[in-house]
Amino acid sequence: MNQPSFHFPKSPRAKAIAFGLIFLLTCIAIYFYSHSSAVPKVKGTAQNVSVTAYTVTRQDMKRKISLSGQTVPVAQVDISTKYAGKIADVAVNLGDVVAPGQVLLIQDTADTNLTLNQDKAALEQAVADSKAAESQFGSDLQKAEVEYDTAKMNYNRYAVLKNEGAISQQELDTAYQALIVAKSALDNLESQNVGDVPASVASKYAAQAKAGYTIDSLAQQLDDMTLRAPRAGVITYRNAEVAP
């Protein structure tokens, strides 16, 4: 039976390599041995270990972002009075929140109210003049019709008398002239109509309508002298003060 034999290199270099390998193997063996012995081996019963548990719930993530910029309104409305005049009341201040139609400012309406009252009196006068003109025209027309019928009847009677020789031609001519005058007056009244209304009455109606338009205009002016908010918003600028 052959015995194992070891052959060592004889050259110095080979010996150095061999000893180096042996040294490396020895270091590795020492490393593994030292680490394996460092692990404690506990014998006996298992020990209790404390564990903290958390319940996970769904939540919105909170983020805080700092940005720089400029805020602007959705709409900006500059409001001013339609008519020049004194200011009687300012109903809002800077920063006030207003609703649509809310009163912002009221101008002094004393002079406008005085003018409005005068125009109302003028309208009443125009209405009275219209009724008087209607009545007068009706009376004049009726009178002209009666005078024409009378003149026509007289002329026909005078014509019969002339044929009988009871009156002269001059008397018949005078009756004819009276008939012509009466007919002319009646035609003049009947030809004055503007549509279905006599001219003298139509002019009074026009004056009445003009007075009514004037009152409507002043009433609108009074309403415009009360400044209201056109929409909901915030007062960001105010340049109005009550007149002393």
Q: What is the CATH number of the domain that holds 132?
A: 1.10.287.470
In a domain, 204, yes or no: yes
pLDDT digits (tens, 9 = 90+) for 52-78: 777 878 877 767 777 787 777 777 888
Q: Is residue 191 situated within a structural domain?
A: yes
Query: Where residue 17 falls among pLDDT bands split at 50, 70, 90?
Result: confident
Between 48 and 87, the more confident residue is 87
When divided into structural domains, the chain yields a total of 1
Specify the pLDDT at position 2. Answer: 44
Alpha carbon of 210 to those of 9, 116, 138: distances in Å?
Answer: 141, 13, 24
**119-137 confidence digits (pLDDT tens):** 999 999 999 999 999 899 8
In-domain check, residue 239: no
In a domain, 5, yes or no: no
Tell me whether residue 29 is in a domain: no
- Its domain, for residue 154, covers 110-224
The amino acid at 30: I
pTM recorded for the entire structure? 0.56
- Looking at the domain assignment, is residue 67 inside a domain? no
Residue 18: CA atoms inside 13 Å, Cβ hemisphere, count? 10
Q: H or E element: which one contains 88? A: strand 87-90
The CA distances from residue 169 to 149, 164, 165, 177, 244, in Å, are 21, 12, 9, 12, 88
Can you tell me the mean pLDDT for 235-240?
87
| Pair of tokens at residue 41 | 């081996």
